[in-house]
Amino acid sequence: MFIGTIETLESSHVEYPAAIRQALEYLRAHDFTQMADGAYEVAPGIKANVQRYQTKPVAECRPEAHEKYVDIQYIVEGEEYMGWCPLSPDLMVSEAYDAGKDVGFYEKLVPDSDIVLTPGGFAVLYPEDVHRPKGAVDDEPVQVTKVVVKVPVDQL
């Protein structure tokens, strides 16, 4: 997992693969407060999903992982508490991986590490990054505008 902010993208010392860099540039170039919820094409095979929702208590959020896509989760408005851990045999599967939806779910994160994403903040999550999105900071739900960009692993 890599975390950062759109504002400091140019000064970052991280060398992102070209497809990830293209997705981050797309995030920087668009005003998502003026865009409707839904899927938008960033480039062939790369999609941005604009979504608005209310965060929820962390206990109601499910850890998940993907195999075919890298997630770039970007907060436009609001704030979100996101859990993270590396994929490992210590994790207990709660819902087996669904190849059609490219997602599998886990009982809990082991070990549990957390970050707070605020406007302009992003997390780049690879298939080995189990993450628990949509958490409410201090269990106080807020409205969030978020963009999740899906980058195919085979484009890296």
- CATH code, 131: 2.60.120.370
Question: Angle 117-141-46 (CA atoms, 0-180°, nearest 5)?
Answer: 45
SS3 67: coil
Q: How far apart are CA 111 and CA 83, in angstroms?
A: 10
pLDDT digits (tens, 9 = 90+) for 127-136: 999 999 999 9
Report how many domains make up the chain.
1
Asked if 122 contacts 72 with a C-beta cutoff of 8 angstroms, the reply is yes
pLDDT of res. 15: 85
Given a cut of 90, is residue 8 above it in pLDDT? no
Q: How far apart are CA 66 and CA 151, in angstroms?
A: 11
pLDDT of res. 14: 80
Given a cut of 90, is residue 9 above it in pLDDT? no
pLDDT digits (tens, 9 = 90+) for 52-95: 999 999 999 999 999 999 999 999 999 999 999 999 999 999 99
Category of 38 on φ-ψ map: left (φ > 0), alpha (ψ -120 to 50) or beta: left
Helix (H) or strand (E) holding 19: helix 18-29
Asked if 18 contacts 152 with a C-beta cutoff of 8 angstroms, the reply is no
**130 bridge partner residues:** 85
pLDDT digits (tens, 9 = 90+) for 33-58: 999 999 999 999 999 999 999 999 99
> What would the DSSP string read from start to end of 87-117?
--TTPPEEEEEETTTTEEEESS-SS-EEEEE
Q: What are phi and psi of 24, to 5 degrees?
A: -65, -40
Find the domain containing 109 and state its range.
2-155
